[in-house]
Amino acid sequence: MSIALPEQATSPVAALAPHPDPAPSRGRRFAPGLAAAGVVLLLVAVATVAPRLLTGTDPLAADPFHALEGPSGAHWFGTDQLGRDVFTRVVHGARYSLSIGVISTLLSVLSGGILGLVAGLSPRAVDEVLSRALDVLSAFPEVLLALLFIAFTEPGTPSLIMAIALAFAPRYGRIVRAQTLLVRRSGYVEQAVTFGLSRTRLVWRHILPNVLGPLPILATIGLGSAIVNASALSFLGMGPQPPSPEWGAMLSESRNYLRVAWWAAILPGATLTITVISLTAVGRRLQRRFEGRR
Amino acid sequence: MLKPILRRLGSGAVVLWAAASAAYLALRLAPGDTVDTLVGDGPDTPQIRAQIARDLGLDRPAVVQYVDYLWRLLHGDFGRSYVLQRPVVDIIGSQVWPTVKLTLLATAFSAVIAVGLAIVTAGRARWLRGLVSGIELSIVSAPGFLIGILLLSVFSFQLGWFPVSGDRDASALVLPAVALALPIGGLLSQVIREGLERALDEPFAVTARARGLTRSALLWRHALRHALLPAVTLAGTLIGFLLSAAVIVERVFGRPGLGEVATEAVNNKDIPVVLAVVMLAAAIYVVLSTLADLAYLLIDPRLRKG
Amino acid sequence: MAALVTVNDLHVTFPGGGTGPVHAVRGISFTVERGECVAIVGESGSGKSVTARSLVGLAGPFAEVRAAALEVDGRDTGGYTDRDWRRLRGRVAGLVLQDALVSLDPLNTVGQEIGEVLRTHRVGVAATRDAQVTALLDAVHVPEPAERARQYPHQLSGGLRQRALIASAIAADPPLLIADEPTTALDVTVQASLLRLLAERRAAGSTLLLVSHDLAVVAGIADRVLVMRDGLIVEQGPTQRILTAPEHDYTRMLLAAVPTAASRGHRLSSTTRSPLPAPAVDPSRTVLRADGLHKHFGTRHAVNDVTFTLARGEILGVVGESGSGKTTVARIALGLLEPDGGTVHLGQTRWTGVPERRRRPDRRRLQVVSQDPLSSFDPRYTVEKLVAEPLDLRGAARRDRVVELLERVGLGAAHLRRHPRELSGGQRQRVAIARAVGPRPDVLVCDEPVSALDVSVQAQVLDLLADLRAADGTALLFISHDLGVIHHLADRVLVMHDGRVVEQGPVEDVFARPEHQYTATLLAALPVLTG
């Protein structure tokens, strides 16, 4: 449901005229937004690894006498229809969203990356076949491809992870292939040929590092998309099943009480959004730094 | 001019054919007995098993089955739903219109949002751009269902301006379309603004201003067309996004449409219906992104040769 | 009547990034009389373009322009609103930038671009606009003007494109025409014809303000020259006086740095005439030999029967205009491109028609320096790693050798840890040269190695190459579009045109007594420093 920007095609016509650069270059000034994003990600990481550090309550402990209570000192995010503490559930839910996102992103980066690399390094015929295959996979909208995968398997965390990984792999495959071709045809690889480097050493010394360098950054931005898509599928009931405190599933459960208790749906959603914004902001910042370096 | 058009149409057809074949392979190569797989957790009766076997023509040679499958697809025959016991085409046909209305309106909204925001903010003061791009980032990052729920909670429950769910009249269409349009508009406006700013930095923009053009003439007559190029490149991604998001937004607002058809079918393991919806989405994707490619040719004369 | 342009104490500042504001123009004053042609000459960063653009209020979106007086056509532009500026632009002053491929909107036809000026300034009426556009294109000598008006910039040749750009600048008949590097990046024959066009505009009454990095280009047309450096005018005066009796050291340095026939055998980076070390050419030892090379790209015969030899310590210049096939010859010689016919031998070793595996052991005997060094550097590498890559050394020996190489090219140990993107263009080219000479190659292929450099930096790099070949006996296959550079540096020259070698021989013979018509045309088109 969320999209990371694909690498922008740089303008084919570079400005040739002598031109003083009017854009004030961004120095390494302190960026409050970025610092906030860092803190958010740190908190989410803590919630994932050790949720008990942030809350002592049981995410499944129901208390019907205190159902649908608004946010207060005792219940920061209020309580849901079963009287469970929403804040505690949000904290414990980080583990689901983050692990599903991270594992599926790793899988899709790995599979897409290998496919893209092989396509980019292979002779034209092989490349043609592989990149057509990637085109075909990309033709399926991501959520629908994931739905299709789940239709063939069982709803639940493992198939959700696989579905998201499958849906996102073509994106990474295409990016890595394009990057591989770019590096392969670059002036510095040609230069290395004139040093008498063997093909294997060319690949290891120049092509792989320059292709894989930007991948962690892309994966950081892609992680946000993976998390949102995973929670969207959970929202549709295709992910971790109730009473698991997965963020998307929580929204789905509390949606029916929206009229009386907005907090039970909106606050988990807001947490999810802030997490994704932080990931994207940090990823883009890294990307800008990385591109500035080239 | 004709050759690149034919080439793009050809490659679109290849992708469609391959997508259909992949769907077929997915059906046939699924581990275990095909009929078992298809039945899965769904309703399991001898009639259904018999129908699956008949649908797939399991008694005939593989090649014949495959050709037959393609032939039927070409004629719009997607088989019968296991659960509803109706032709898949009828099910989709009866539910496609609400989704089409929703996506078209959302597309129009997002185009207006994107071009408007980009034109107003391109090359302007940094605080304004920073503020707007912060909002865009938030909207693009927020899950579509959250935007939908927020809109519902404010405009339907608190203010009571719009109906909560259903598809009774035009007013029921507004909130879902906005929920769908916001993230797409936010993303597009980022891309268009970046394109505008890059175009304004190019020497031809200096030349144009040196002719005495106003800022708005420069933006509308020169820069905007350049800025649309990366947006058109993004069309494929956006179409996929739109179709994916439509499924979820429809569910949030309890609207009838393909989203309901798809999620119900997945829950019921009604494979022919799921496959048909996914194939339809792929077909729409291929057709629209081919059109986008052709639009690119229309906008940029440099690509028209060869 | 007052001067057309009066500039008094002009300052232009750009807000900088972390380094503070950049003072691009620092208090300059000059005038341009009506009917005069004034040229501003300087190297990159001198502030010449910014000065010219300030006259039409286009110094840049963030530029801060201050002046005691900035008058154009009798009106002070101080306090001009955007509206006032728009009335001036195109109507009072036309602007022509470098390379119309990017200076005309690539998505519009040439006719639309020219028509836009007419429409903006309401010159004529819509009904006759097409005829006006055709007449304008005709006035700048574009053949078949009505047809060209319907074409897009990329469909025209570089010369016609630039003419169309000039047509759009003069469409509303402004008294002042500002041309910022109008002929840079064009072939020398095209450049000559455009300079004739500008001279013609001037004879017809236009006032010209030219901006150029190349003294020779403006020498033939400008009445007066302003020499700029670091935002200041270091010297101004009549062209003839500047060329023959320059008063400022910087002007003298610029003049001395221009490679010409006269500078042959002498250092360019020195204002006192000092000879270069004598080369030791050994004609008996052929280090590179090409026989009957052919290469086709589709239907185009890019290289057609090219034969040459290169002796130890010799510099063979390959000169030709764009599309003449000279770079293709270089790539074939480097073993990066297989010829469709013919052979190359590196010394006695067969170099083409053999698998890459067989070439590898001898690869380092043949090194390359290209026009754009940055793209030939792995973006992750430091200077040390770059220079060390072709060396088979480890540890301290490697470091020592890298430092030695850097010192040879005028850099030093201080640059080891730097990234090339932090270096200037000249320093990058030095790093590229240090890397190329590291493996002690027999042959160094230089593909337009100084084309992107300022003339003073070009002088230093050319001197460096001459020193290196004299010291090491390295042979150079030197490719350039610039006849002056070839005349200055090469021992023998190969003139290429449409993939063929039209003429070859010792530089002094060929340039003094060209036998082929094409060579004669090239030489005639070459702008010279008269003086």
Give the distance from residue C104's alpha carbon to the nearest chain A alpha carbon, in angstroms.
12
Contact B206 C91 (CB under 8 A): no
Q: Minimal Cα distance from B123: which residue of C?
A: C61
Q: Same domain for B60 and B143?
A: no
C300 forms bridges with which residues in the sheet?
C297
- Convert the pLDDT of each residue in C148-180 to its tens digit: 999 999 999 889 999 999 999 999 999 999 999
Question: What distance in Å separates the CA atoms of residue A112 and residue A179, rounded to the nearest whole number?
Answer: 13
Q: Please, are residues A101 and A226 in contact by the beta-carbon 8 Å criterion? A: yes
Strands C341-346 and C349-350: antiparallel
Q: How far apart are CA C264 and CA C511, in angstroms?
A: 12
Selecting from B19, B141, B245 the residue whose C-beta is nearest the C-beta of A273 gives B141
| Cα nearest neighbour of A213 on chain C | C380
DSSP string, C443-506: EEEEESTTTTS-HHHHHHHHHHHHHHHHHH--EEEEEES-HHHHHHH-SEEEEEETTEEEEEEE
| Residue with more model confidence, B298 or B166 | B298
Name the β-bridge partners of C179.
C96, C210
Residues 60..119 of B with a Cβ closer than 8 Å to A: which? Answer: none
Which of A29, A41, A148 is the best substitution to test chain B (most B C-beta atoms within 10 A)? A148
User: How far is B131 from chain A, CA to nearest CA, in Å?
Assistant: 12
Say yes or no: B150 and B245 in one domain.
yes
Please list every residue in chain A whose beta carbon sits closer than 8 Å to the beta carbon of residue B205: none
- Mean pLDDT along residues C482-492: 93
Task: Say if residue C72's pLDDT is above 50.
Answer: yes
CA-to-CA dists, residue C212 to C97, C218, C231, C241, angstroms: 11, 7, 15, 18
B47 with B171, same domain: the answer is no
**Is the pLDDT reported for residue A218 higher than 80?**
yes
**Averaged pLDDT, B230-245:** 86
**Look-up: residue for tokens 């006719």?**
C111
As a whole-number percent, the residues of chain A with pLDDT over 90 amount to 26
Check C90 against B206: CB less than 8 A apart: no
**In chain B, which residue's Cα lies nearest the Cα of A277?**
B141
Judge whether B288 lies within some domain. yes
Residue B299: inside a domain, yes or no?
A: yes
Q: Which residues of A touch C98 (CB under 8 A)?
A: 16-18
Cα(C134)–Cα(C146) distance, integer angstroms: 5
Instruction: List the alpha helices (DSSP H) in chain A.
Output: 32-49, 86-121, 124-138, 142-152, 157-184, 187-194, 199-202, 208-212, 215-235, 247-254, 263-293
Distance, CA of C298 to CA of C10 (rounded, Å)? 54
Going across the sheet that includes C37-42, the strands are: C93-96, C176-180, C207-212, C37-42, C224-229, C232-238
Q: Which residue of B has its CA nearest to C96?
A: B207
The verdict on B119 and B50 lying in the same domain is no
DSSP class of residue B296? H
Q: Two tokens at C57?
A: 């209020």
Residue B286 belongs to a domain: yes
pLDDT band at A3 (very low <50, low <70, confident <90, very high): very low
Model ipTM over 0.90: no
Looking at chain B, which residue has its C-alpha nearest residue A258? B153
Tokens standing for A260? 């009386």
B 151-190 → A contacts, CB under 8 A:
152-153, 157, 183, 187, 190
Higher pLDDT pick, B164 / C493 = C493
Lowest pLDDT segment from A46-60, C35-49, C294-308, C309-323: A46-60
Alpha-carbon span B133 to A277, nearest angstrom: 12
What is the pLDDT, as a whole number, of residue B306? 45
User: CB neighbours (10 Å) of residue C292?
Assistant: 12
Instruction: Return the C-alpha torsion angle C121, C125, C127, C128, nearest 10.
Output: -80
d(CA C258, CA C269): 9
Q: Give the contacts of C4 (CB within 8 A, at least 6 positions apart).
A: C32, C33, C34, C36, C72, C73, C175, C176, C207
Confidence check: pLDDT of C114 > 60: yes
Determine the CATH number of domain A36-51+74-290: 1.10.3720.10
- Reply yes or no on whether the pLDDT at A247 is more than 80: yes
Candidate from C24, C97, C377 with C-beta closest to A17: C97
CA distances from C486 to A184, C433, C462 (A): 33, 18, 10
The shortest CB-CB distance from C89 to any of B209, B215, B217 is to B209
> Is position B27 within any domain?
no
- A46 band by pLDDT with thresholds 50, 70 and 90: confident
pLDDT value of position B109: 94
- Are residue B142 and residue B195 in the same domain, yes or no? yes
User: Is a pLDDT exceeding 90 seen at residue C334?
Assistant: yes
Q: What is the pLDDT of residue B204?
A: 93
Model confidence band, residue B41 (pLDDT cutoffs 50, 70, 90): low
Whether residue A272 and residue B146 make contact (CB cut-off 8 A), yes or no, is yes
Does A12 contact C at CB distance below 8 Å? no
Angle between helical axes of B88-121 and B126-141 (0-180°, round to 10): 160
Q: Is B276 on the interface with A (CB under 8 A)?
A: no
User: What's the pLDDT score for residue C31?
Assistant: 95
| pLDDT value of position A14 | 27
What residues of chain B lie within 8 A of the CB of A152, using their CB?
Answer: 26, 30, 37, 40, 271
| Residue in A187, A196, A293 closest to C370 by CB | A187
Ranked by mean pLDDT, the top range of A65-79, A197-211, A256-270 is A197-211
User: Is B6 part of a structural domain of the chain?
Assistant: no
Residue in chain C nearest B221 by alpha carbon: C108
Total residues found in chain C within this entry? 531
Residue C58 is nearest to which of B204, B206, B214, comparing CB atoms?
B206
Q: How many CB pairs under 8 A join A and B?
A: 178
Tokens 């990481």 sit on residue: A45
| Alpha helix positions (H), chain B | 2-29, 34-39, 46-56, 62-74, 88-121, 126-141, 144-151, 171-201, 203-210, 215-217, 224-233, 235-252, 258-267, 271-299
Q: Which residue of B has its CA nearest to C171?
A: B211
The predicted-structure confidence for A165-176, as pLDDT tens digits, reads as follows 998 999 899 999
Most confident of B30-44, B166-180, C182-196, C427-441: C427-441
**Helix, strand or coil for residue B117?**
helix
Residues from chain C that touch B215, judged by Cβ atoms under 8 A, are: 82
The structure tokens listed for C405 are 């190489």
The shortest CB-CB distance from A210 to any of C22, C379, C421 is to: C379
Q: What is the CATH number of the domain that holds B254?
A: 1.10.3720.10
B171 lies in a domain? Answer: yes
- C1 falls in which pLDDT band (50, 70, 90)? low
pLDDT at A70 over 70: yes
Query: What subunits touch chain B, counting only 3 or more CB pairs under 8 A?
Result: A, C
Match 């039409």 to its residue by tokens: C56
* Main-chain dihedrals φ then ψ at residue C242, nearest 5 degrees: -60, -40
B156 pLDDT above the threshold of 90:
no
> Picking from A5-9, C155-159, C221-225, C316-320, which range would have the lowest pLDDT averaged per residue?
A5-9
The interaxial angle of helices A86-121 and A263-293, nearest 10 deg, is 30
Q: Which of B134, B142, B274 sits opposite A147 (nearest CB)?
A: B274
For chain A, which residues make up each domain, given as ranges?
Answer: 36-51+74-290
pLDDT at C504: 94
- What does the pLDDT average to over A268-286? 87
Chains contacting A (3+ CB pairs below 8 angstroms)? B, C
Q: What is the pLDDT of residue B30?
A: 56
User: Most A CBs within 10 Å: which of B16, B138, B146, as the mutation test of the A interface?
Assistant: B146
Judging contacts by C-beta atoms under 8 Å, the chain B residues touching residue C116 are 208, 211, 213, 221
Domains in chain C, please, with CATH?
282-376+441-525 (3.40.50.300)
Last residue of a domain, one of B23, B53, B77: B77
pLDDT given at position C322:
87
Q: In chain B, what percentage of residues exceed pLDDT 70?
A: 91
Q: Which residue type sits at A176?
A: V
CB atoms B301 and C152 under 8 Å: yes
Q: Smallest Cα–Cα separation from C450: which of C335, C531, C364, C370? A: C370
* Cis previous bond, A243, omega within 30: yes
Reported in sequence order, the residue ranges of C73-205 that DSSP labels E, i.e. its strands, are 75-76, 93-96, 176-180
Residue B20 covered by a domain: no
Chain A residues within 8 A of C50 when measuring between CB atoms? 20
Distance from CA of B251 to the nearest CA of A (A): 8
Q: Is pLDDT above 50 for B154?
A: yes
Q: Do B153 and B294 fall into the same domain?
A: yes
User: What total number of domains does chain B contain?
Assistant: 2
3-state SS, residue C409: coil
Residue B5 has pLDDT above 90, yes or no: no
| Residue C73 token pair | 């056509």
B177-211: buried (b, 16+ CB within 10 Å) or exposed (e) per residue? bbbbbbbbbbbbbbbbbbbbbbbbbbbbbbbbbbb
CA dihedral C432, C434, C435, C440 (to 10 degrees): 130
> What pLDDT, in 10s, does the model give residues C449-464?
998 889 999 999 999 9
For residue B224, what is the nearest residue in chain C, using CA coordinates? Answer: C107
Q: Does B43 fall in a domain?
A: yes
Q: Which of B17, B21, B29, B145 to mutate to test the interface with A (most CBs of A within 10 A)?
A: B145
Query: Cβ contact (<8 Å) for A2 and B138?
Result: no
* Four-point Cα dihedral C497, C502, C504, C508, nearest 10: -80
Same domain for B274 and B241: yes
Q: Could you tell me if B229 and B122 lie in one domain?
A: yes
What pLDDT shows up at residue A9? Answer: 30
Of B77, B112, B139, which residue sits at a domain end?
Answer: B77
Measure Cα distances from C336 to A34, A190, A237, C359, C478 in Å.
46, 8, 58, 11, 17
Distance from CA of C102 to the nearest CA of B (A): 6
| Residues B165 and B60 both lie in one domain | no
Q: Is the model's pLDDT at C467 over the cut of 90? A: yes
Same-domain status, B246 and B277:
yes
- Confidence (pLDDT) at C174: 94
Residue owning tokens 């532009």: C77
Interface of A with C in 13-52 (CB under 8 A): 13, 15-28
Tokens representing C290 are 């090409």
Q: What is the mean pLDDT of residues A159-165?
A: 91
Give the rounded percent of residues in chain B with a pLDDT score beyond 90: 16
Q: Is C378 on the interface with A (CB under 8 A)?
A: yes
| Same domain assignment for residues B93 and B44 | no
Among partner residues C17, C101, C372, which is closest to A24 by beta-carbon distance? C17
Domain of residue B254 covers 88-303
Q: Which of C212, C228, C193, C202 is nearest to C97 (CA)?
A: C212
* Residue whose entry in the numeric block shows the structure tokens 């319907």: C150
Residues of B in contact with A259 (CB under 8 A): 157
Pick among A16, A136, A175, A291 to test the B interface (most B CBs inside 10 A) = A136
User: Shortest CA distance to B258 belongs to which of B240, B236, B281?
Assistant: B281
C-alpha C139/C-alpha C133 separation (Å) is: 10
Q: Report pLDDT for A18.
A: 29
Rounded to the nearest angstrom, the minimum Cα separation between A290 and chain C is: 11
Kindly report the average pLDDT of chain C as a whole number.
Answer: 92
Instruction: List C-alpha distances in Å: A179 to A119, A214, A225, C236, C511.
Output: 11, 9, 21, 51, 47
Task: Tell me what pLDDT residue B35 has.
Answer: 67
Indicate whether B57 and B180 sit together in one domain.
Answer: no
**What pLDDT was estimated at residue C66?**
93
Among residues 309-338 of chain C, which lie with CB inside 8 Å of chain A? 334-336
Full DSSP string of C243-286: HHS--SHHHHHHHHHS--STTTTB-SS-SS--BPPPP--EEEEE
Least confident of A142-151, C129-138, C187-196: A142-151
Nearest to A232 by CA among C264, C96, B147, B273: B147
How much of chain A exceeds pLDDT 70, in percent?
Answer: 89
